[in-house]
Amino acid sequence: MVLSLPQATSPLAGVVKVPGDKSLAHRAALFAALAEGESEVANYPDSGVTRAMRGALDSLGVPSSLEGGVLRIKGNGMRPFPNSGATAYCGNSATTIRLLAGAVVATRSTAVLDGSEGLRKRPMDRIVEPLRQMGANIRCKGGCAPLHISPAPLEGIGYDLPVASAQVLSCLQIAALGAEGESRFVVNAPVRDHTTRMLRAMGAQVADAGREVFVEGLEKPLAPLHGTLPGDISSAAFLFAAAAIVPGSRVTVEGVGVNPTRTGVLDVLSRMGAKVTLANEREEMGESVADITLAAAQLRAVEISGDLVVRSIDEFPAIAAVAAFAEGRTEVHEAKELRYKETDRIAAIVAQLRALGAEVEEFDDGFAVQGGTLKGGTARANGDHRLAMSMALCGLRAPVSVEGAEILNESFPGFVPTLGSLET
């Protein structure tokens, strides 16, 4: 599929909603499978990455239904998964395989966790090593999938994560639910705390003391989930980026999750000059939610590093697109983790912006974009859903075609019609 968005001839305006948060959706499905009783979760997104988790759970013997955006799962508790020895295919979803590994270990199940060719290249040793320290019987080749897991008793451990990763921390937190005693995990930078919030809401003993997280082995079953998922800020980021790129635009996205560990993109866009406001702030399923409005203004280049990188790690493709239309040179540093996403996002962002005529520079730990130099052309999605959408956004200001754009269905199937509804 080749995607070419029409160049904007007038400001974007309107009020829209986005599908439920994918990070929360992964956790909601998995934790519901580990709970006792039936869970019911509304605004559940139906996309490639969320189907990966549901499909893997189905393979292990815990099916779910999704009708009208409502997910229903009858939990299996912390017992071994019913389909012992099954292979659970995780598609291209690193979140699925890493979180599911923690659950398979915690429930003393037998399973093989595998995925796409791309997923087989993602580093898994960062979860395998600490899981083995807890006592897990887990095998892999070259630190990558497939993961072969057999039952083994677990003991609580103290572990310092070498890389600040929410996926790794969540995997270990889940495994710790099935361990004897207390586990203590230390991170060197802020990471998403969705797992802590949701497990705590389900009755688990999880304490978050800043850079330290403590998890007690479960003494009573997890309670089922009932609620509505907040809108996905990672999806909303592309709509905010579109509004920032097109002068005079004003776009509101209702019901978006504004967990402070995820709002880095809003801070970046604000620093670049866009006007960001929050209204109707409230709480859903333990998460902060708000209606967010972004009004376009003169864009200026910024430097991004440190904690702000961690808080906006998934939104850099969108940020790079905005940077292409900002005044000056935007630089990103301390973002080497981008090299281990669906693709090497540092190299991919640089290559595709360069294909569109932009002046860009690649660093080992980031990249730089000289604003005002993008001319247009043909970009390639490279099998990365976020790259597909970000390059397509450049078409709002220049003639751009994106090859392989069907991959955007992995995360935001409604991207094109939702963006189209904002045209005035």
Question: Are 2 and 43 contacting, i.e. CB atoms less than 8 angstroms apart?
Answer: no
Q: Are residues 176 and 234 in the same domain?
A: no
Q: Using omega within 30 degrees of 0 as the cis cutoff, is the peptide bond preceding 146 cis?
A: yes
For residues 49 and 152, membership in a common domain is answered with yes
> Coil, helix or strand for 262?
coil
Q: How far, in Å, CA of 225 to CA of 74, rounded?
A: 10
Task: Identify the CA nearest to 412 among candidates 382, 387, 380.
Answer: 387
Domain of 66? 22-228
pLDDT in tens, 209-263: 878 999 999 999 999 999 999 999 999 999 999 999 999 999 999 999 999 999 9
- Say if residue 247 is in the same domain as residue 375: yes
Catalytic residue among 314, 344, 364, 365: 314
- Please write the tens of the pLDDT for every residue from 41-50: 999 999 988 9
Q: Are both 178 and 325 inside the same structural domain? A: no
Same domain, 198 and 334: no
189 — pLDDT class (breaks 50, 70, 90): confident
Residues 212 and 241 in one domain: no
Q: CA of 354: how far to CAs of 221, 374, 381, in Å? A: 53, 8, 14
pLDDT grade, residue 424 (50/70/90)?
Answer: low
Question: Has residue 155 got a pLDDT over 70?
Answer: yes
Last residue of a domain, one of 205, 228, 251: 228
Which stretches within 254-315 are classed as H helix?
Answer: 264-271, 307-310
Enter the pTM of the model.
0.88
| CATH for 375 | 3.65.10.10
- Dist. CA 297–CA 305, nearest whole Å: 23
Question: Among 37-41, 46-50, 182-186, 347-351, which is the least confidently predicted range?
Answer: 46-50
Per the document, the length of the chain is 424
Task: Find tokens 């979803």 and name the residue.
Answer: 93
Q: Are 304 and 288 in contact (CB under 8 A)?
A: no
Pairing of strands 250-257, 13-17: parallel
**148 and 286 both lie in a single domain:** no
**DSSP string of 49-111?**
HHHHHHHHHHHTT--EEEETTEEEEE--TTSPPSSTTEEEE-TT-HHHHHHHHHHHHHTT--E
Rounded to 5°, the CA angle 117-347-187 comes to 80
Q: Are residues 124 and 242 in the same domain?
A: no
- Give buried/exposed letters for 305-317 (b at 16+ CB in 10 A, else e): eeebbbbbbbbbb
Q: Which two tokens stand for residue 343?
A: 């693709």
Instruction: Quote the number of domains for the chain.
Output: 2
Q: What is the pLDDT of residues 97-151, one digit of tens each?
A: 999 999 999 999 999 999 999 999 999 999 999 999 999 999 999 999 999 999 9
pLDDT for 80 beyond 90: yes
In Å, how far from its chain's centre is CA 363? 23
Give the CA angle between residues 332, 392, 359 to the nearest 5°.
45
Query: Is 125 a known active-site residue?
Result: no
User: How many angstroms separate the CA atoms of 100 and 102, rounded?
Assistant: 5
Q: End of a domain among 179, 207, 228?
A: 228
